[in-house]
Amino acid sequence: MTDDFETNWRRARQQVQLYCYRAAGNRDDGEDIFQQAAVRAWRGYASFRGDCAFVSWAIAIAKREVARVMGRKSERARSESSLEQLSEEAPGLLPGVAAPQAPGDAHWLTRAAAAAVAAGELTECEASVLSARVSLPECSWEQIGSLLYLEGNACAVTHCRAIPKLRVYLFLHRADLLGGREAIAAAYVAAREAKDDPLTQDEAAAFHHCVLDSTVRYRKPGWTSSLRSACGKVIRRLGLP
């Protein structure tokens, strides 16, 4: 093994990325898996002994990531099915998600991101980027990317993708971190009545059903995007730091 990780990864990158996209079946999941595989390969490079081609070793890591991510998606689907059944049998007893402590320091968001990963709302890569951004507020994306072995632009894109997901997690599972349900309901009304960029009809419906009413079975086409957009508008009305 004479080449360093960067040289080997540069040669294998395209093949690994194509494998991830094909195995995932869609670009978004494939990119998440690719980024996580890159981080794991970088962290585990010391264990690479050169017994096989580097690209084969890296794709083996990607295969494990595919299995792990797809397994988690299947588990999440089963969980949602169980929640739907519970909502029919006992509507007031929906289970909560184990969550971090309330904000007491600058890194409560890091704990919230970790809980969101456990809940299946964020990928580990997204949580890592969020945590790095919180811990290193003065660093550029290029500097953060060098620590996570991601390109600076990839870090920025991952961060932009993760923030809406984390907001949804907080609204659905940690209303206490956002001031409580009454504050959220008031912010929802304010967001609907706002003169500047108010909630659209679809956004209002998604937020009302999923957050205020906790309707597990709400599945109107495009509801995920509507909910994320709504959470972004409502959270601005909460007066949070």
pLDDT one-digit tens code per residue, 86-138: 444 444 433 333 334 433 445 677 788 888 888 888 888 888 888 888 878 78
The tens digit of pLDDT for each residue in 20-79 reads 888 888 777 788 888 888 888 898 888 888 888 999 999 999 998 888 877 766 655 554
The whole-number pLDDT of residue 94 equals 38
Of 91-105, 142-156, 195-209, the range with the highest mean pLDDT is: 195-209
Residue 15 falls within a domain, yes or no? Answer: yes
Sheet strands (E) in 37-98: none
Task: Read off the pLDDT band of 140 (50, 70, 90).
Answer: confident
Asked if the structure places residue 167 within a domain, the reply is no
Q: Which pTM value belongs to this model? A: 0.56
pLDDT at 97: 38
Higher-confidence residue of 137 and 227: namely: 227
Q: Is 45 domain-assigned?
A: yes
Residue 12 domain flag: yes
Candidate from 3-17, 78-92, 168-182, 190-204 with smallest mean pLDDT: 78-92
Please provide the DSSP assignment of 83-97 as one string: HHHHHHH-TT-----
Cβ contacts of 145-152, under 8 Å, gap ≥ 24: 148/39, 149/5, 149/9, 149/38, 149/39, 149/42, 150/35, 150/38, 150/39, 150/125
Check which CATH number belongs to the domain holding 1 and give it: 1.10.1740.10
Give domain status of residue 154, yes or no: no
Residue 125 confidence (pLDDT): 86
Cβ atoms of residues 122 and 113 within 8 Å: yes
pLDDT surpasses 50 at 167: yes
Is 77 inside a domain boundary?
yes
Total domains in the chain come to 1
Q: Is the Cβ–Cβ distance between 142 and 152 less than 8 Å?
A: yes
Question: Residue 231 falls within a domain, yes or no?
Answer: no
195, part of any domain: no
Q: What is the mean pLDDT of the chain?
A: 80
Show the domain range for 81.
1-91
> pLDDT over 70 for what percent of the chain?
82
Q: What's the whole-number mean pLDDT along residues 162-172?
A: 90
Least confident segment among 24-33, 77-86, 156-165, 209-218: 77-86
| Residue, of 168 and 120, whose pLDDT is higher | 168
